[in-house]
Amino acid sequence: MVNIQEYISSGIVESYVLGLASSEERVEFEQMCAQYPELVEARNNFELALERHARTSTARPSQDVKEKIWSAIQQTSPKTPKIVTMEPTTRRSSGLRWIAAASVILFLVAGYFAFRFYSQNAELKNSNKNLEAKVNSMDSVLGRVADEQKLMSDPNVTIVNMVGMQKGSPSSASVYWDSTSANV
């Protein structure tokens, strides 16, 4: 934190007003003036004191000197100042910058969504292959079950139940025998 009274008493106000401050000191002083109103007041007070001193201590020129200055001014021919016309500049480039920025943003968003959709598509393809393998497996199981069902429901097939021979053993077996082809 800057002690503003020490800063004012350092002589920076006088250096600034008299034009003796360096460019860095001038920039720093102007920034400090924006922050500290008492610094602005000190600058204004010094400027007023300088003007009062200039008014009270200056010698007034004699009438003869005034007439010489006035006649010298009258004798000089007034030069017509050169008038330079300024063309208003149009800022079309700022519109192009906005368009360029928007196109870059659009490109990045499109790239993001393309990558995201590509990743989702790869995941879906992998999931689809897994489901297809499961469906094929289920189809083969279902085909075998259908063949067995067809065999069991065939009127030419005879079911022979066989009971185990050992006592206390609850074993049994059923044999399906196709009497027309001798398939078991």
pLDDT tens-digit series, residues 102-138: 999 999 999 999 999 999 999 999 999 999 999 999 9
pTM equals 0.34
Q: Taking 90 as the threshold, does the pLDDT of residue 80 lie above it?
A: no
Task: Give the residue from 161, 159, 180, 181 showing the smallest Cα distance to 171.
Answer: 161
Do residue 29 and residue 107 come from a single domain? no
Which whole number is the average pLDDT over 71-76?
80
Q: Which residues contact 174 (CB under 8 A, 6 or more apart)?
A: 159, 160, 161, 162
**Is 116 contained in some domain?**
yes
184 belongs to a structural domain = yes
Region 73-92 average pLDDT: 74
**Helix axes 37-57 and 23-35, enclosed angle (nearest 10):** 120
In a domain, 90, yes or no: no
Domain membership flag for residue 19: yes
- Residue 89: predicted pLDDT: 66
Nearest CA among 88, 106, 110, 89 for reference residue 98: 106
pLDDT value, residue 173: 83
Residues 108 and 53 in one domain: no
Tally the domains of the chain.
2
- Position 77 scores a pLDDT of 64
Output the average pLDDT for the chain. Answer: 86
- My answer on whether 181 and 131 are in the same domain is yes
Q: Across residues 138-167, what is the average pLDDT?
A: 82
Residue 92's identity, in one-letter code, is: R
Predicted confidence at residue 48, as pLDDT, reads 95
On whether both 52 and 113 belong to a single domain, the answer is no
Identify which has the larger pLDDT, 28 or 173: 28
Q: What pLDDT band is residue 184 in, cutting at 50, 70 and 90?
A: low
pLDDT for residue 149:
83
- Within a domain: 67: no
Q: Convert the pLDDT of each residue in 92-101 to its tens digit.
A: 567 788 888 9
Please give the residue range of the domain that contains residue 111: 98-165+172-184
| Cα–Cα distance for residue pair 68/60, rounded to 1 Å | 14
- In-domain check, residue 86: no
CA distance 45 to 43: 5
- Choose among 151, 172, 175: nearest CA to 163: 172
